[in-house]
Amino acid sequence: MELFNLNIGCSCGSRVVVSRSFADFTPQATFDIKKCDVHRLEEGPPVKATLTRDQGLQYYRIMQTVRRMELKADQLYKQKIIRGFCHLYDGQEACAAGIEAAINPSDHLITAYRAHGYTYTRGVAIKEILAELTGRKGGVAKGKGGSMHMYAPHFYGGNGIVGAQVPLGAGIALACQYQGNNQVCVTLYGDGAANQGQLFEAFNMAALWKLPCIFICENNKYGMGTSVERASASTDYYKRGDFIPGLRVDGMDVLCVREATQFAADHCRSGKGPIVMELQTYRYHGHSMSDPGVSYRTREEIQEVRSKSDPISLLKDRMLSNNMAAVEEFKEIDIAIRKEVEEAAQYATSDPEPPLEELCNHIFKNDPPLEVRGTHPWATLKSVS
């Protein structure tokens, strides 16, 4: 039987170590979750979600890792070790963790430039993400992609042009349909991109061809520094597909996101065509590192969301109140994550930058070496696949 130790403080100042068996914990519990608003659907996802102890600890570990990684990125940026664009994901962790829990590793995902969390949930190591942010050779894109351009198998980035990933996601879904592999493509965009014309062109084609595409609007209430009310005549983003069914989901609850994504994936796999999901979420940082994030919203607003709706605290409190884990367990997980992130940061700051001769590599796939024109006639650059 597995045991772990709990340190219990005594009034005398000494500490007593008590062994506690994992058998003492509730292995599984069912929770009431917020009902989704639906559009052109007879029924929506379930209003109850079952969580096992192992799942709960896994979701906690994923969300806490993303949180710590983003806070480390913030620190490295302020030290001027990370430069350029850097859009952080802290506050929105339940979206990435919940989506990944409901799809298969062989399914596909494409997102905008707030991509660090999804890069991690799609299987990339923390050290490769941080090394990419610092522009080092060991980064996931060999130091040449940076914050907005990270990729992994079945993960298509990281896209810097607002809304441009949505037609690409529809194209990936077309490939899934063409190949008949029963896979889906999760195509993410923000509320700031939701008024782009190319979204509606993609919606139209996806609906016409019944593509297995889950279009997800991560509505974090602000597109850059503009609130959704000031930017959109209709803020019901889940209804924006018009002829495409839609769901509005509590994006701060990992269980809500998981159940809704499972529902949406089943919808797509059954041949009913695309579906639009709106995840109501919130970012704690500004739009990017150059935005302090408090000129268009108050510090009190941010603090209220942190205290009442934080996705990590919500999951942790659920598990503790249902005797699914101990406070000490969460502390141990936190310590292990901090250590892993610290080691990753050490790697990301000590790994060498890619040499100049590798600048043009990988322009094409599986091509013979190719001479690349530089900025002047003496530049001798080569691209090796």
Are the beta carbons of 154 and 107 closer than 8 angstroms? yes
Q: What's the confidence (pLDDT) of residue 14?
A: 47
Residue 360 structural domain? 356-384
Residue with tokens 């939701």: 194
Residues 107 and 228 in one domain: yes
DSSP tally for the chain: helices H, then strands E: 11, 14
Instruction: Examine the pLDDT at 10 and tell me if it is beyond 80.
Output: no
For the segment 303-318, the average pLDDT, to the nearest whole number, is: 98
For the segment 351-372, the average pLDDT, to the nearest whole number, is: 89
Residues 211 and 286 in one domain: yes
Q: What's the confidence (pLDDT) of residue 6?
A: 54
Q: What pLDDT band is residue 11 in, cutting at 50, 70 and 90? A: very low
Instruction: Examine the pLDDT at 151 and tell me if it is beyond 80.
Output: yes
Q: What's the confidence (pLDDT) of residue 8?
A: 44
Task: Please indicate, yes or no, if residue 9 is contained in any of the structural domains.
Answer: no
Q: What's the confidence (pLDDT) of residue 376?
A: 84
Task: Please indicate, yes or no, if residue 18 is contained in any of the structural domains.
Answer: no
**pLDDT tens track for 220-261:** 999 999 999 999 999 999 999 999 999 999 999 999 999 999
- Chain-centroid distance, C-alpha 216: 12
Q: What's the confidence (pLDDT) of residue 368?
A: 86
Residue 122 belongs to domain with CATH number: 3.40.50.970
Distance between CA atoms of residues 96 and 111, nearest Å: 11
* Arithmetic mean of pLDDT over the chain: 94
For residue 197, the surrounding DSSP H or E stretch is: helix 197-208
Exposure b/e, 260-276, CB count within 10 A at least 16 = b: bbbbbbebbeeeebbbb
Q: What percent of the chain has pLDDT over 70?
A: 94
Task: Please indicate, yes or no, if residue 8 is contained in any of the structural domains.
Answer: no
Instruction: Examine the pLDDT at 18 and tell me if it is beyond 70.
Output: no
For the segment 349-363, the average pLDDT, to the nearest whole number, is: 93
Q: What's the confidence (pLDDT) of residue 261?
A: 98
For the segment 313-337, the average pLDDT, to the nearest whole number, is: 98
Look up residue 59 and give its amino acid. Y
Residues 365 and 316 in one domain: no
Q: What are phi and psi of 225, to 5 degrees?
A: -105, 15
Residues 369 and 288 in one domain: no
Are the beta carbons of 63 and 363 closer than 8 angstroms? no
Residues 336 and 373 in one domain: no
Residues 239 and 374 in one domain: no
Residues 332 and 375 in one domain: no
Task: Please indicate, yes or no, if residue 140 is contained in any of the structural domains.
Answer: yes
Q: What pLDDT band is residue 9 in, cutting at 50, 70 and 90? A: very low
Distance between CA atoms of residues 114 and 190, nearest Å: 9
Q: What's the confidence (pLDDT) of residue 122?
A: 98
Residues 286 and 379 in one domain: no
Residues 344 and 366 in one domain: no
For the chain, the first-to-last Cα distance in angstroms comes to: 52
pTM assigned to the model: 0.93
Residues 81 and 173 in one domain: yes
Task: Please indicate, yes or no, if residue 10 is contained in any of the structural domains.
Answer: no
Task: Please indicate, yes or no, if residue 72 is contained in any of the structural domains.
Answer: yes
For the segment 61-82, the average pLDDT, to the nearest whole number, is: 98
Task: Please indicate, yes or no, if residue 5 is contained in any of the structural domains.
Answer: no
Structural domains counted in the chain: 2
**pLDDT tens track for 167-200:** 999 999 999 999 999 999 999 999 999 999 999 9
Residue 249 burial (CB count, 10 A): 32
Instruction: Examine the pLDDT at 20 and tell me if it is beyond 70.
Output: no
Residues 240 and 273 in one domain: yes
Radius of gyration of the chain (CA): 22
The two tokens of residue 334 are 């936190």
Sign of CA dihedral 155, 156, 157, 162: negative
Instruction: Examine the pLDDT at 379 and tell me if it is beyond 90.
Output: no
Residues 312 and 378 in one domain: no
Residue 61 burial (CB count, 10 A): 16
Task: Please indicate, yes or no, if residue 269 is contained in any of the structural domains.
Answer: yes
